Every structure is written in C-alpha cells, then in structure tokens.
Structure 1
Amino acid sequence: MSIVHCQLSIVEQSEYSQAFPWLKLAQIPPFIQQSLKDGETVTLQDFRQWVRQQNKQ
C-alpha cells in the first residue's frame, strides 16, 4: 500500500499521510480489520486513543 500525493502535476508516492505526517500507511490496516470484527464505533474510539498516545511520544 502507498499513498499518492499530487501537486502541480507532480505525482509522488509516500508511506506517510500528508494530513498526519507521523502516520505510516502500514499502521491503518489493523484498524480496518478491527472495524470488521468489533464495529466502527469501538474501532474509532480505539483509534482516537491510539492517536493521542502517538502524540504524547
């Protein structure tokens, strides 16, 4: 998986989000899997908690 950024007709592949530069794309699939198992609400709560922990580091 990769993220594609396009600015002024220049396309770059990246492993990181532009909105959240500290967030690697590889960190997202476990949350998608959890969502399928536990549901969206629980997963969003867990994701928000995880984001807060990342920002403390």
Structure 2
Amino acid sequence: MTGYFAHHGVPVEPGADRIGVRLPDGSAAEVTFDALGRIAAVNGNVSGAGA
C-alpha cells in the first residue's frame, strides 16, 4: 500500500499496524493490517468540495 500511495504522490502516515493518508481533496483514509500483514479494514472520511 505504501508504494501505491507513493507512486501517486500521496504522503503516508505509517503506524505499527496501519497506514494513514490525507488525500489531495482533504479526505482521509486509513488501512489497517492483521497480524499476518493482510488488509483487515479500510476506513475513509470524505471531506472537501465534493462532500
């Protein structure tokens, strides 16, 4: 996931079991991982002009 966001120029906020990002429109997303490194959840908070 980090590589995907980096490829698109989106800075990441890494954590122990998660990656948080702030998208260009002001929205936020968080991807959490289980103990095996698999995606466990994806959460988002929509904001900005289109919200």
Q: Could you say which structure has the higher strand fraction?
A: 2
* Larger gyration radius, structure 1 or structure 2: 1
What's the TM-score once normalised by structure 2's chain length? 0.28
What's the TM-score once normalised by structure 1's chain length? 0.26
Q: Could you say which structure has the higher helix fraction?
A: 1
